[in-house]
Each structure stands twice: as C-alpha cells, then as structure tokens.
A and B are shown apart, each in its own frame.
Chain A
Amino acid sequence: MEFNVEDVVVKAVEEALKLGVNEVEALAVRRRPLLVHISRGDVTVARSGEAVALGVRVVLGRRVAVGGGSVRALDDVKLMVERVVKIAKASREYPGWKGLPERISASNVKSPYDVNVESLDVEELTSSMLKLSRRRDWGVEVTDMSFHYTVAERALSNTSLVVLKEKASRVTGFVEVKAVEGGIQSLCHEYHMGYSVSEINFEELVEKASRRALRGLRVAGVETGRYAVVLAPKVTASIVDAILSPAITADNVQRGRSPLAGRVGESLLGEDVTIVDDPTREGLYSTTSFDDEGVATRAKTVFRKGVLESFLYDTYTARIEGKESTGNAVRPGITAFPRPSPLNLIMEGGSESFEDLVSRVRNGVIIYETIGEWLSNPVSGYLNATITYGELLEDGVFRGVIRGAIISGNFYNLLKESIEGLSKELGNIYGYYAPALMLRDVTISSR
C-alpha cells in the first residue's frame, strides 16, 4: 500500500479541522502478522498479510464520536471523517468533558520491537517446528503447535498536528501435547507471549507440557472442601486480569462498578503484595512510549505492600477528579472510545522459587491450568475458575491430577488473609505478569 500511517493520521486531522470540529484525535495502525499452525505433523495453514486501520475521535463543542475502519486508500479517510462528524452532530454532550490532551508526547522507552521478526525465514521456522512436532522421544504426541507474530506500526496525532509513531512486535508460541496410556489420555498445553523471536523456545515448551501430560495420566478425585493451593504464575496472572484489572480502572471506580471505590489508602491485600502498572519496563508485552491518547506513559504503583495507592486514568476520567492522566488510555478496538486499562500490570514476586513453594504443600493442589476465570465477577470480587490441570498432593506425595473442580472465593479476602508465599518467578498472559501464589483455605468444589 502506497501510504504510511503518519499520512493517514495527518489527513484525518486535517479533514476533521476543515469540517469545523473543535478537537480531533486520529490513531492509525498498520499490522503485518504471520501465523504458522501445525496439527499432528501437518502444516494446516500459514497466513500473512497487511492491513491498515484508522480510528478517529472528533469533538464538536462537548459532543464526541468515534469511527473509522479499514483504510484501502487515502481517499477513504475523508469519508470516514465525514461520517464521524455527522454522528458527533447527533450525539449528546459528554458530561464532564474537558477536552483531549493539549499536547501529546512519548516517554523515553525502547519500544518492544525485534528487528529479527520481519526477516524471519518462514521455511526454516516451519521446518524446525515440523521436526519438533514429529519427535516422539518425550513419550507424548505433539497435537498442536503454532507460531504467531504481529508487527504493528502505530501513529497518533490530534488537533496539535504533532505526530507520534511507534513500531512494536508481539510473538506467541503455543504447543499442546497428548499422552496416552491404558485408555487414559492426558492433554496439556504451554505457551509464551513476548515481543522477540528469541523468546520462543518450542523445545522447552514441549518439554514442560510433556512433563505435565505424563503426570496427568494418573487421575485423582478430590472432595469438596478447603485446601492449600499453589496457583502457577500464569494462573495468577489470568485471575488478576479477570478480577483486579477492571476494578482498578477509574471509569469503573467512578461509575459504581468497582469494590475498590473510595478505598485508596486502605490495606486491602496482604503485606507482601505490591502491584505496579509499568508500560516503561523494557521488553515486556505491553511496553509502549505513549497511550492511545498520546499521553507519555509512566510507571505507577497500584498496591504497595497491600495498600491501595492509586487507580489507572485516561484523560477524561483524570480530569473528572482534577488529576493528570496516568497514561493508561487504551482503545479496546481502534474505533472504540479510549478507556483506562492496565499496560503491563505486574504483581511483584517474592523470594522463594516456585519449587520451594510447591515443596511446602503437604496436602493441597498445585494448579497449573484453569478455564473460565474470566467468568469471575469483578464487581463483587468473587472468583470462580475451573481447574483443568491440578496436581493433588497428600502428605507431600503426588496422588494424581484433578480436572473439572472449581476454585472459588472472594479474591480480596484470599489475597488479604490467605497468602502463604509468592514465587520469585513471574509468568505472563499478554501484559499481565504475576508470580505463583501459595494460598491456604481455598474452597474447591467437586463431585
């Protein structure tokens, strides 16, 4: 395509100003992804392509609208802007609207871009994945394996006509393996999400998944009751994403949908829990130098030693409280209104290794895989997650793997009163980073 993302945002801003808007903000993204998927030794698809999309926010007085979509040619931009302005004219005044950021800027952060991603030899990559997927010496079969990257060029401009630009890469490697013995089958998966090709070590992923799949051939049952548990780092991260992430964003706080409203300064979690939001930390998944409103990103502490210190703000929610944006404006889709969201939400680790935590469990469950944690209720803080791989320990001895039981409880009570330890290793799902958590007296429901 014969245009770049800077051209797109500048044209959008100019067209909107010609139509008499008071303020305008344009965000354009060019994405170039690659996907290679292997199923049982067959390459079932290889995909790549190129797409450019634009999202424009316009303000007429205090009436605001957003729109846009795929950009096929620069001429599309004018049509998109005209439609957004038309909608803004019919819109309502935005209560408490005090404008877009007056100036836009970026922090001095190295964007998470790996130059090797785009020069990747797809044939070589596919060959090595195929070779690995056909190996049998782990005692398992590799059922699924995929490699996915996206290179995204992002440009943002607003009424000021200053243009910010950033290029980032995101990489995910995924494997699923199956062990079969005596009519029992045991599947486990492992994945890594990062920004650099060098972070994806398929052999290591297969090894980890295989170890669990083989142990999973031994099936255990568990009675409904209260147990000591260790949540593996990625399980903790996904629970934090589901329950805490919505509760610490200022829009939910201001609109009565967070149990943390009015509780800044209170000790709500255990003393060993410190949670920061840090888009400036180098090499992490959501590292970025500016947010989706062009506000420079910065690190901030959300919980310090269990005490709630601050929420995450975009410009709109910050100005309602007379504050500065924390640089957390994120558009859930390019044509959606920005709203505050975490950008690298990190629960800091403890001093023990994951293995040390596990070795302290005499009777309990080590939970490595769950589903449905996103069905928890962030408004009430009520956690529900279904265990799909949990190792049952009795008297410190592995008794088998449980699947289909539910862990539940009030997230805040658990993290205030039940923490026995945090691992020093962190795991991540997207931009949510967390250690393993050892908890006591967690309700597990089963048959």
Chain B
Amino acid sequence: MRSVPPEDVVLKAVDYAVSGGARLAIVRFHERWRELITFDKGSLREYSFNVSSGVGVEVYSIGRGYSFTTSLSWDDVKKAVDRALELSRTPGSPIDFSSGDSRSLSYKTYYKVDPFTIDPEDKVKIVEEVNKGALSLDGITSAVTRMAFESDYRFIVTSEGFRGESKAVLSGLSHSVVAKQAGVMERVGDSRTFEGGFEYIESQDWMEFSDEVNKLALKVVNAKTPSPGAYKAIVDNELVGVVIHEALGHASEGDHVVSGSSVIAGMTGSSVAGEHVTIVDSGMVEGGYPVVFDDEGLAKVETVVVDRGVLRGYLTSRFVASKLGLRPTGNARAEDYDKEPLVRQANFYMKPGDWRVEELFEGFTGLYIRGKGMVGGGQVDPGKGVFSFSAGPSYIVKGGEVVEMVRGVSMAGSILEFLKGVEAVARDLKVESSVFGGCGKHGQLARVGLGGPHVRVSRVVVGGV
C-alpha cells in the first residue's frame, strides 16, 4: 500500500505515449483508501477497508483511447500505454481537444488527525453508542449507523507539462432508522460529512444528531401521504441542491450538449430560469468537495451556468470544449484509475438571493418539501427534460402556517418549468458533500457538492395514492 506516487513510472509513461504518436498524453496515478464501519440493529455488521490503486492512461492521437492497470511495473504500464494508443487509432473522424498549460497545481485537505491511524476500537465505540441508542426507543424496529473515511489521492502529469497532485480526505457518519406504527413502516435517515480528519468526528454530539433522526421517524410514521397532483412548493436548503443537480446540473454537462441529448442544448443566452436564479459550478466551496484540477490535467474554474435566469454556459472536458468552441472548465472527472474522465459536476449550487426564509412562507399555501430525513436522492433524463427525486418528511402549509406533516413525498418535474417557476430565493445557502454517496453517471460515481438556499416554486408534481 503506497503513499508516495510512482512518479518515475508516470513520467516515463507520458514520454512513451508521446514517442508512440500521442498528440496529448495524460497519465494519472490514483489511489483511494476507504474504511467503513456499519452497526446494524445493535451489532457490528461490517468493518471493512478497501485500497484501490492503479494507473490510468488517456491519449489523443487520431481519436481518444484510455487504458489502465493495477500493476505499477513498467512492463504493465507500458502495455497500458500501448493499448491506449491502439484504441485511440480505432476508426472514426479525428477527435480534437482543448489545450491546457504547463502549470503545477496541488491541494491537500488540512486535517489534524489522520482517520486511518485511529485505533479501530475508538471508532467502533461511537457507532455502537449511536446505533444502540436508537433501538432503545419504542417504535424503532431497525437502525443502521455507519462511519466512513475516504482518502482520495491523484497524481496527474500531462505531455503539456502539467503536474497536479491532490489529496482529499472525508470523514462522516450516517444514521437511518425504520419506525413502525399500526402496520406502517417508514425510513428516515441523515448523515454528516466533513472534509477533514477524525477531529471532526470527535467534535460532534452524535447522540443529539441521531436523536433528531429517531424522533423524526417516530413522528412521520404517523403521517399521511400527500394527495397526488401539482402543488406550489417551498424546497428547503437541504434538498434544493439535489433538485438543482438533477434538474439542471446534468443537462448542463457538455457531453449531453454535444450529443444533442440535453434540453438546454443551443440555449445559451436564453432565459431558462426565474430572474432570481444564479447557478454556478465551483471547484472549492465551503461544505463541498474539493476539485482544484480535473482528471485531464486542467484547472477547475468557477463556471457560471445560469446568471439571473439566463443560461450562460456548460460544463466541459477537453473534447467537449473543443467541440462546442468553449473555454474548458475543468470538469472531466473519473471515479477511479480504471475509468475514463467524463464531464461531471463538481460543486453545483444555486447562489443565495435576498429573501429571508420567513418571507417565502408569507401567505403561502402548498407543500414545504424538506431534505432532512431523506433516504434516496434523485434522477434525471436530461434529454427528455424530466427529473425525479424523493424527499424527507415534508409539510402541508396553508396561509403561511405549517398544518400537517406528510410522508412518502416523491416529486417530478420538467427541468425548464421548474427553473422558470422559481419565484423567490432565500439567503440561507447551504452546501454539502457526502462520503456515503455521490452522483452516478455511466457507471461511475463522483463525489460532488450539492447546495442552495430555500426557494419557492410555482409548481411541482407530487406522487401519492
């Protein structure tokens, strides 16, 4: 298990690829450590670790080829370069790419206590206490509590002379419970993730955190499901990030634009959202996931996707930027050494507006849709312009007053209708990332930051029975 990059092998691979005819070579050593502790219904269900590491080689000659190996021996890496070169010569029109430069970038999460050096017993004790605490409550039939740590190290060198080194460390705890009442079972969960080390885990009151989850489950199991149909809605700042990520983020990924499978393709300069809506994708934001450079060796730049309701740009990789004639944004990201970079969001969030949260509720009748307690996430079909997501326990609001909790809220909408229906944007920006999940695309998972403030929208469709 290596903690220093095989710099000699990476540099040699870049030179070898260029000598083999590559117009551009990008070689990445990628190592990810992960530890997971799971308590399930009072007992330690899983204590596991995984160290995934290898070398990925991306070359552009005629086309774009990608290959990889878990071996660090020069013979095996050389074979990977040969394979990538061969694949880049498969039939087809030449593929072009945006150029980068020869700068060097580095980033390392600041942490005081390396979570991978902590005595396993110290971690187990925290998870056990939280898990067993839930099971002592009448009505809770099941509880799963997880603690996870991840260290993601990337060392990238390109034939343009770029060198990038980054190490992101995440630590987190999640807690989900099932409550049962009168034959009805309901799940509620929550998690907290910090970019940092074990010091963050130690600084939290996890019993207070889990108590909130447990109480919410015991309450929502007695709630009704909402009547199906269209509602006015206020979406809270714990859910709006998922909605924005699904509703616009994927459609703004430039590969969908290139293939013509995005409903916002060709709409730059047009109004796609309410005038109070500004949405950006950033490499660094408090609470988010750090992306200083991408996996094609380009600096991640803050990208304004929507500015006061008007579509201003897309997220790009080298190929996509070249194809669309845009500036590269540094959004080509790969899950692991064995996957080619895809255009992915980094920290895609809505900027805060001017409203106080209370002002959104003044005279409002509809649904207050919350993320707290949500188990699930969302999905989008960017080509059809339809998105879907599940919410946590939510509320029916009448005349500005919260009158009733509802459960099982699932929502759908049209991307453009939803964005254009944003009437008001509050000030309370919140951005979060998660060590327990992320965004899935073409079989690859990416850690992302999600966020925004409370927003009020004119219409969403809610499922029900």
Contact = CB atoms under 8 A, between A and B. Distances in A.
A44 B229 CA distance: 41
Contact of A406 (B53, B95, B178, B388): B388
A51 interface: yes
A70 B51 contact: yes
Interface stretch (A105-113, A228-236, A342-350, A378-386): A378-386
Q: Identify the interface centre among A39, A40, A336: most chain B CB within 10 Å of its CB.
A: A39
A408 B390 CA distance: 12
A283 interface: no
A224 B228 contact: yes
A112 B411 CA distance: 39
A379 B185 contact: yes
B49 A87 contact: yes
Given A43-B92, A65-B47, A335-B49, A90 B376 contact: no
B408 A51 contact: no
B69 A49 contact: yes
A403 B53 contact: no
A115 interface: no
B69 A95 contact: no
Contacts of B66: 45-47, 49
Q: Identify the interface centre among B52, B323, B412: most chain A CB within 10 Å of its CB.
A: B412
A94 B39 CA distance: 11
B63 A176 contact: no
Contact of B261 (A68, A176, A388): A176
Interface string B178-190: 1010001111000
B3 interface: no
Interface string B377-394: 111110111111110000
Contacts of B65: 45-47
B64 A447 contact: no
Interface residues of B, number: 94
Nearest to A335: B50
B205 interface: no
Interface residues on A, range: 35 or more
Interface string B203-225: 00000000000000000000001
Interface in A258-316: 259
A437 interface: no
B53 to A, nearest CB: 5
Interface in B35-59: 36, 40-54, 56
A1 B76 contact: yes
Given A47-B67, A257-B142, A257-B178, A67 B48 contact: yes
Q: Identify the interface centre among B49, B54, B88: most chain A CB within 10 Å of its CB.
A: B49
Given A40-B258, A83-B49, A379-B186, A91 B91 contact: no
A71 B70 contact: yes
A168 to B, nearest CB: 17
A374 interface: yes
Contacts of B413: 404
10 tightest Cβ-Cβ pairs between the two chains A and B? A372-B388, A445-B228, A90-B120, A406-B463, A384-B410, A69-B51, A386-B388, A187-B383, A256-B141, A49-B68
22 contacts: A46-B88, A47-B340, A48-B87, A49-B83, A51-B338, A68-B49, A71-B70, A72-B71, A80-B1, A80-B51, A178-B260, A187-B383, A256-B142, A334-B50, A335-B49, A371-B379, A371-B388, A375-B379, A379-B178, A384-B410, A406-B388, A445-B229
Given A43-B90, A337-B46, 17 more contacts: A35-B340, A44-B64, A46-B64, A46-B87, A47-B87, A48-B67, A50-B70, A69-B50, A86-B120, A87-B120, A126-B90, A187-B383, A187-B384, A385-B388, A386-B387, A443-B463, A445-B464
Interface of A: 1, 31, 33, 35-36, 38-53, 64-73, 76, 79-80, 83-84, 86-88, 90-92, 94-95, 122-123, 126-127, 130, 141, 143-144, 176, 178, 185, 187, 224, 255-257, 259, 333-337, 369, 371-372, 374-377, 379-380, 382, 384-386, 388-389, 403-410, 443-447
